[in-house]
Amino acid sequence: MPDVQALVNDFVLKLKRRKIEGSHASAQHTAELLRSVISHQRMPYTNQAGALIDAVKAVGEQLIAANPVELAVGNIVRRVLHIIREEDLSSTATAIEGLGLSAGSDDDDEGQHEDRPALSAAALAAAARSTLRAPSLQTLLEDIPDSAAAPQPPSSGGDSEGKSKSDKNIRSRKLKHDVIEAINELIQDIDTCHEQISEQAVEHIHQNEVILTLGRSRTVKEFLCAAKEKNRSFRVFVAEGAPRYQGHVLAKELVSKGIQTTVITDSAVFAMISRVNMVIVGAHAIMANGGVIAPVGINMVALAAQRHAVPFVVVAGSHKLCPLYPHNPEVLLNDLKCPSDLLDFGEFSDCMDFGSHGGSPLLHVVNPAFDYVPPKLVSLFITDTGGHNPSYMYRLIADYYSADDLVVKRRSTS
């Protein structure tokens, strides 16, 4: 599958060069890429889910390494893995009945056949549990292997081989097909999450509200526009969001929808927040502890909002939900951008002289891309599944990811 590898390499390169940025774009690209990886994956006769998972993990590992800060990539890889597991589970469930029937007829294989359904059922139960909740002591004790399909012995009795072969052929097609179907749904979800989020806008924005936002987020834009379409009239303060100044774009978009918009400098956030009823911002990623990785500057806004007891609302699609717990996220989950956003190289070339001061330059320019907002500063998350508290995020994450995938790394044994 050289063509797939080329696609992967291409995407990895784009991620590395930050050609693809923004969680929405990268999530979508990742899902599409994984879909083509899966569709090109040659399916073995046995342990098909395992093979798929391995393939996805191999690609996912590269993608995540390409830009570890772009958490949406990892999220989508995990989502796809989760999808594979689920589809496999459901196909196993249908297969169990068939196997149960054949077990009765073949006497010599009785022992094996007895064995299999029992094991599968246990796996099924365990897998079902694991999809619904985070790993528990029970699942650990039951020692259920990685994938539900994995424990199946490589081959069953000789005489049943032909039968099971044809059976598996159908199943393999079906599994792949189902997985691709599910990924398509995922892609669609990513695309339409804005609509589902913005449907909730009227519940949160009332007449004459004053809303503050920083920078530009498509979700925020849709959210505000949706409220405007419902004939709510309100006022929006947009902080420009240095160094990208996407606030200008947002302001233009909002004005074209007829929303009263005032553009302020980032430094005026504290001055204005006392007159604001609600802060609505987008996010780069939502961590499992309820913390938010957001465009730089938002922590400042959150602190100001807290000071003035203004609700701080984060709107984000579920593809931004990251199952990881952050450690030192301000540094480890951050990107330092080009200094030229802040300083003109031409003007400051004399200051950036490495030679004259013992090799270390006097001037450093810090231009981080993200801020980490701790969960205590967030009042509410609005995702496509509704509004949630920061403390509930870990639970929401269990719905989307299976606990086995938190670390996307191919097992060395396989």
Partner 1 sequence: MDVRRGQRTVIDPKVRQVGFVPAGATRPPARSHSVPTDACSSSPPAPELPLSGSSLSPVMIPPPRHSSADGLPSLSRSAASPVPIPASPLRRDTVQIPIGSYNPSESVLGSSPMISPSSRLDAVSEFSDEVPTSAWLGRSGSGKFASSFPSSSGEMMTMKITGGGSGGGGNTPKSSLTTASVVKALPGVSEKDRGALIEVQNEGISKPQKQKTSKAERRAIQEAQRAAKAAAKEAGDQFVLCEAVKPSASSGGALPASKQGKVVKPSSQKKDGPQVTAPVVPSEKKVGDRIPDKDRKKDVPHPRMQFDDKHRVEKAKRRAVVNQSEARNRVELFRHLPQYIHGTQLPDLESKFFQLDPMHPSVYKVGLQYLSGVISGGNARCIAMLLAFQEAIKDYSTPPEKALVRDLTAKISSYVSFLIECRPLSISMGNAIKFLKNRIAKLPHTLSESEAKSSLQSDIDRFINEKIVIADKVIVGHAVTKIRDGDILLTYGSSSVVEMILLYAHELGKQFRVVLVDSRPKLEGQALLHRLVAKGLNCTYTHINAISYVMQEVTRVFLGASSVLSNGTVYSRVGTACVAMVANAFQIPVLICCEAYKFHERVQLDSICSNELGDPDVISKVAGRNDLNHLESWADNENLQLLNLIYDATPSDYVSMIITDYGMIPPTSVPVIVREYRREHLWI
Q: Which is nearer to partner 1, 311 or 361 (CB)?
A: 361
Note whether 271 binds partner 1 by CB under 8 A.
yes
Look at residue 297 and give its three-state secondary structure: coil
Note whether 218 binds partner 1 by CB under 8 A.
no
Distance CA 262, CA 98 (A): 66
Look at residue 314 and give its three-state secondary structure: strand
Q: Looking at 119-127, 191-199, 367-375, 387-395, which segment touches partner 1 (CB under 8 A)? A: 367-375
Least distance in angstroms from the C-beta of 378 to partner 1: 15
Q: Which is nearer to partner 1, 183 or 281 (CB)?
A: 281
Note whether 45 binds partner 1 by CB under 8 A.
no
58, 129, 150, 245: which one contacts partner 1 (CB under 8 A)? 245
Q: Which is nearer to partner 1, 50 or 295 (CB)?
A: 295
Distance CA 168, CA 182 (A): 20
Are the C-beta atoms of residues 67 and 388 closer than 8 Å to each other?
no
Q: Which is nearer to partner 1, 200 or 261 (CB)?
A: 261
Between strands 210-214 and 278-282, the pairing is parallel
Note whether 242 binds partner 1 by CB under 8 A.
yes
Note whether 233 binds partner 1 by CB under 8 A.
no
Note whether 261 binds partner 1 by CB under 8 A.
yes
Q: Hey, which residues between 313 and 332 contact partner 1 (CB under 8 A)? A: 330-332
Q: Which is nearer to partner 1, 339 or 387 (CB)?
A: 339
Q: Which is nearer to partner 1, 215 or 317 (CB)?
A: 215
Q: Hey, which residues between 79 and 98 contact partner 1 (CB under 8 A)? A: none
Note whether 267 binds partner 1 by CB under 8 A.
yes
Q: Hey, which residues between 336 and 365 contact partner 1 (CB under 8 A)? A: 342-344, 347-348, 351, 357, 362-365
H or E stretch at 83: helix 71-105
Are the C-beta atoms of residues 236 and 205 closer than 8 Å to each other?
no
DSSP for 88-135 reads HHHHHHHHHHHHHHHHHH-STTHHHHHHHHHHHHHHHHHHHHHHHS--
Largest CA distance in the chain: 88
300, 380, 403, 406: which one contacts partner 1 (CB under 8 A)? 300
How buried is residue 126: exposed, middle or buried, by Cβ count under 10 Å (0-12/13-18/19+)?
Answer: middle
For residue 259, the number of C-alpha atoms closer than 13 Å in the C-beta half-sphere is 32
Between strands 285-286 and 278-282, the pairing is unpaired
Give the footprint of partner 1 on this chain (CB under 8 A): 237, 240-243, 245, 248-249, 251-252, 255, 258-272, 274-275, 296-297, 299-300, 303-304, 307, 330-332, 334, 342-344, 347-348, 351, 357, 362-368, 371-372
